Amino acid sequence: MKLYSILDLGYVDEEDIAIKAESICDSGINMLQLRAKNHAPEKILEMAKIVKPICLKYEVPFIINDYPEIASEVSADGVHIGQNDGELDEARALAGNCKIVGRSTHSLEQARDAHKEGANYIGFGPLYPTATKPGRPAIGLNEIARVHNEVPLPIFCIGGITEQTLPEVLNAGAENVVIVSNLLQSEDIKSYVSRIKSIGKNSLNQNS
């Protein structure tokens, strides 16, 4: 199981960006995204320049949310775009040197479309109601197995996943997950990620 972490400025103070990024990258996560909704692009660029070398140090792929131009400017590994953020080809062109373009999907149909568009991976959710995406209805767990069967891409299930709900998410067929607030608000990120990875390993052993 791969664990994708999002450094979300809704949960992290701007002045704590570096120390939080260091803690996350040192914990054993597999990918880190910088997401800063309601921040000016110039400010996001500043923060991206702080986070990029930390990701490089730990060899963690660095993804920028929403802004392919910023991803290009800091030589990030990738960019992640939502359903309403335009064409994937356009984002890929603007991102320039990025190898990875991810797309948020909220249904099986959108997941299929993202594959046809040429996404390198998809986020699939939100599985549960989440304060990270207020107003977006949860899609539940019923389509997880089907999307994995029908869409030949790395699929990262997202939305309200916590240490407590992870076992049922994995039992529903998830292979990789994104955890945002539960991880960022944990007192010891390294211990938290270790527990999450252990849950993932146990699930894999039970299902193999």
Tens digit of each residue's pLDDT (9 = 90 or more) over 119-162: 999 999 999 988 777 778 899 999 999 999 999 999 999 999 99
Mean pLDDT of the region 102-120: 98
pLDDT at 48: 98
pLDDT at 77 over 70: yes
Could you give the C-alpha distances from 37 to 8, 113, 174, in angstroms and in order? Answer: 8, 25, 27
Of 38, 8, 42, residue with least CA distance to 130 = 8
Residue ranges per domain, the chain? 2-207
pLDDT of residue 184: 97
* Sequence-separated contacts (24+) of 76-85 with Cβ below 8 Å: 76/48, 76/52, 78/102, 78/120, 80/33, 80/104, 80/123, 83/110
Q: Is 203's pLDDT higher than 90?
A: no
The pLDDT of residue 133 is 73
Question: Topology of 2-207 in CATH?
Answer: TIM Barrel (3.20.20)
Of 135-139, 174-178, 179-183, minimum mean pLDDT range: 135-139
User: Is residue 208's pLDDT more than 70?
Assistant: no
Over range 33-57, report the average pLDDT.
Answer: 97
So what's the pLDDT on residue 124?
98
Q: Which residue has the higher pLDDT, 32 or 207?
A: 32
The share of the chain scoring above pLDDT 70, in percent, equals: 99
